[in-house]
Structure 1
Amino acid sequence: MPVRLKDVAQHAGVSVKTVSNVVNEHPNVSVGMREKVRAALLELGYRPNLAARQLKHGRGGFITLAVPELDSPYFAELAARLSAEATRRGYLFLLDITDADPAQERLVLSGMRAHMVDGVIFSPLATSAEEIAERTDDIPLVLLGERRAPTQFDHVAVDSVAASRAMGEHFLEQGRRRLAAIGREVREGTASVRLQGFSEAIAAAGLELPPERVVTVAGFGREEGYRGMQELLALPADLRPDAVFAFNDLMAIGALRACHDAGVQVPQDIAVGGFDDVHEGRFHVPSLTTVAPDLGTLTTAVLDLLIARIDGSTAPPAHPLVPWSLTVRESSAAPSG
């Protein structure tokens, strides 16, 4: 027999109304009482009756995450965290892989792929801010990512400009002077804001980032990082970098392999840094210096905003920035001598 709210209430020694308030995320419950009821829900294995919720509220109980790919460890970890938290809050979690295809992203915005879905979390890659602003579908939407987005939608992001500036400053503090970057050139994309922050750090030190040391690649994977580093290593001695910032960890890991294959020592000859703090980078040899976004805070912020919209919130659009930290590991230790 399925566990009922009444069963949970008896187990926790509280009223059915209190249990209902906790299940439905109502704010008028004390922290201590909320934790007590959540413990009872977990212990008894309570699952919300989504069919009853739909009849009562006109909702399906589903949230969709639309992302360009799931091969990326960053998106995979983000999806896992969002799924677990959405489930804890009583929603079923769906994934929509757009492959960064403009036509697929337009379907997400139009609602054509969102039947029976209460809300959408969308990380666009091929769609401009102007195109997103033209959206007419009324399904609640929260945007993810550092690219420029229209202000009329909730948008959760990491301050990639500040984080990338910190990476550049770290390299400079380690005595590096010939800095370089590897990234995909995407209109209004993440790469452009990460290049901006990195360039600001270099300019503030009175140095230059010549175009030869900014390598544009076709994707965000290990292969692109490998080829980008090969291009940098082929530069004349006076241009060859002593520090390289790849705009995500997968490219940085590919760059590390290119250094290994070329007999270039990291970090003695070249320091390498990435962005995202994927697990693979922690166990690579050398371990990867990276920018680590706070995915826990990001997950909470996204679902708080989306569920509030689902519940009818008319608050002004929110644009919170997620905390991040610069995690220094072996790939950027101070050069010897």
Structure 2
Amino acid sequence: MQYLKCKVLGVILLILTACNGQVEKINGVSFVSSRESINKSHTLPVVQVNANYAAVMPFGFIRDLSTPEIRFNGERQWYGERKAGVEQYINELRKHSIKIMLKPQIWIGRGEFTGYIKMQSEANWKTLENSYSKFILEYAVLAQALKVDILCIGTELQQFIEHRPQYWEQLINEIKTVYSGKLTYAANWDEYKTTPFWDKLDFIGIDAYFPVSDMQTPTVAACLEGWKPHKPIIKSISEKHNKPILFTEFGYRSVDFAGKKPWVFSRSMTEVNLEAQVNTTKALFETFWKEDWFAGGFVWKWFHKHNEVGGENNNQFTPQNKPAEAVIKHYYNTIK
């Protein structure tokens, strides 16, 4: 009788979970494209950090902010940045049950910010639109062929979207004719509130480089406090559109003042501060990962040769072989 009661209770709990729409958190890594193919030695560290998703990121290249032509799938690109490499990465990651977000991105010469892409003539806008459509639709077709779980239709393209909203509406409709999976867009942290097409997507994607502390070594408490102005606004956008929030990128450099301007990639910031990376990362998990309106996120960034990157003398974003890696492993294991 006791066994039957427990069994019935278990069934009831399963039904309640289904009714509440609870789903597994997206515990992801942003898997960096490289010159070469990957194998089990490169994918096992992803499994060992308890990740269940990887963002695979092919690239298109623009010469400068005023150039409308996007070059992609060229032989001069790294293997992982091209279509053939993307397919190989996805198939290899899937051998370990890692789900995929395909996230094609644009790189501008000299590392200019993609959010500033803005054409100076109607002719150039049309050229850019045609070029971008070819780029993203080629990967949408691939995403459908490989049954990719999520497709990210763009990353940090604020000016392009602001000035050409009708194009983006049409593009999303066109993507949906060739790809039937989940869609998101990776809005910059200061862009997501004005992105006009969230209702047409499945996730509200945010590259979550929000400023949370001005301290040289921010404490967890200070960062938790620093999230308080941002969190209600993020939640309100989720509620407004009835869509879950997905941090399409999140992470901090292991440097002094890591929480002040987390988006900054400056060579002048050289002082290694592992504690700053740990504390900012902990606060982000504590703020968001238990919320039912929050879908999860992708840590920025994860390199394939795990044993050769990161480490305690590294001041860049990767958490690999640093104390922050253990933090991510812990939260990815305990909050499902």
TM-score computed with the length of structure 2 as normaliser = 0.29
* Structure exhibiting the larger radius of gyration computed from Cα positions: 1
TM-score computed with the length of structure 1 as normaliser = 0.29
